[in-house]
Structure 1
């Protein structure tokens, strides 16, 4: 059978940039297909409603709702509407564990993947232009990729696809419930301990960026005060990216880069040495 995966992208976080691509990196899988609907940059109710209606019309076997701050009315309404339509939902969002509403989501029957290192951007007009925004997101994608956070997210979603292929549906699906910490992200990703340490440091720095940007965006008045704060957060993310590049180069140097491609039937195979075939 062909598993239908619906993806609702509401606003933007780095996980949303890559989520459906991670499931079919060469666009040759024959066991699944994806359909993505997006609200663009906004999280307004009318934009979210348009996304949900398109996703429901697609009739996916399960849906992924990816957004910043998953407890906001837009993302909350989207997953509730999909649930009401009988579609299982996995929520992918950044870390908002300080909110009571997030505890409610954790206790619900929704699946979730909280990417703690997918930190909010320094969205101050005196600092953030399109180039700065794109540069930040490029650095963040590198961090989430090399540390293993993206791979763990992909494997968790592949596990849901495998359940559908095995005949499970609806409430019978076991959905992921993951808070992506540094330890979970880097597990089994590195053969060299120095590469492992660098990647773990990168994850911790990236996760810390969120609260620096919260301070700069919401808790500090006066551009002369908040611009240096958000600029420092972006420098932190750049430093995290550099650590990831160093970790990756160490792994290349000892011919230990872990590669886990999909076969056409969705099976995940693996290898480490470059000149070899994945098994």
Structure 2
């Protein structure tokens, strides 16, 4: 039994379902998961308090999920968890790439998802409904393009090594469009192209959200900018959906599932049986 504790500081799109990626039907017998979260807050006091709680949980692996892991809150949290001596993987977004080398030097693994873009967090625009809709759009993009599968595969790889009693080699992965699409399982070339466009559209959202939230001060200017960011993410999700529908129409959707022992099996047609996964 491998025990994994997820510490969530603030929210990314991937934050919503990351632990569920490892046990989609609640059937695994070799995995136990706990989750500690600060909610949407990312300040240092909140992060440290949550990290102390996470450190008190018996764990073989910690996964720290947050936007911009260079900020004081996420930094303090992982430094506190490092005192446990357990392996730690940071899951974050593109801005974290500026500290990727230092994360590796300090012994942390990392998975940086370049399409998991910042939300348009302006009070005049972002209400709870808009927040939920944005995150649902992000999840669709990450799911179809292969980004979520790559996160899942990297975490599963580390879990298998821990289960075998080996010292795990932690991931140092930057999920660009090419890295994501390698794991997407998309077979039709047009579906692949649609998914690639979807990923890049979602990645562009971060620039608009950053501009509208931090750079532009005039209310009449920043409101349409953050609204445009959300419209762009919506269309990215629609394009991802089109890619998925092409694969469904061709009966070529790749499905990779966990069995009870944690092993992975795959099939590419709806009615065929699963076969052991040996080439990923």
Say yes or no: does 1:46 pair with 2:49: no
Match of 1:93, SS?
strand
1:105 offset after TM fit, Å? 2.1
1:49 offset after TM fit, Å? 2.2
Say yes or no: does 1:138 pair with 2:130: no
Match of 2:82, SS?
helix
Counterpart contact for 1:217–1:226, Cα < 8 Å = yes
- After TM superposition, the score normalised by the length of structure 2 is 0.95
1:94-243 mapped onto 2 (5 Å cutoff): 94-97=93-96, 99=98, 101-168=99-166, 172-188=167-183, 189-243=185-239
Say yes or no: does 1:268 pair with 2:264: yes
1:220-263 Cα deviation digits (max 9, x unpaired):
12111111111111111011000011000000011000000000
Counterpart contact for 1:97–1:103, Cα < 8 Å = no
1:212 offset after TM fit, Å? 1.0
1: distance between equivalents of 2:101 and 2:31?
A: 32
Counterpart contact for 1:71–1:102, Cα < 8 Å = no
Tell me what 2:249 maps to. Answer: 253
1: distance between equivalents of 2:122 and 2:81?
A: 33
RMSD over aligned CA atoms reads 1.2
Match of 1:138, SS?
helix
1:195-227 Cα deviation digits (max 9, x unpaired):
000001000110111011111111112111111
Q: Where do 5+ consecutive residues of structure 2 fail to align?
A: 276-280
Counterpart contact for 1:209–1:236, Cα < 8 Å = yes
Total equivalences in the alignment: 274
Say yes or no: does 1:75 pair with 2:74: yes
Match of 1:216, SS?
helix
1:81-92 mapped onto 2 (5 Å cutoff): 81-92=80-91
Counterpart contact for 2:12–2:66, Cα < 8 Å = yes
1:102 offset after TM fit, Å? 4.4
2: distance between equivalents of 1:86 and 1:14?
A: 28
Counterpart contact for 1:143–1:203, Cα < 8 Å = yes
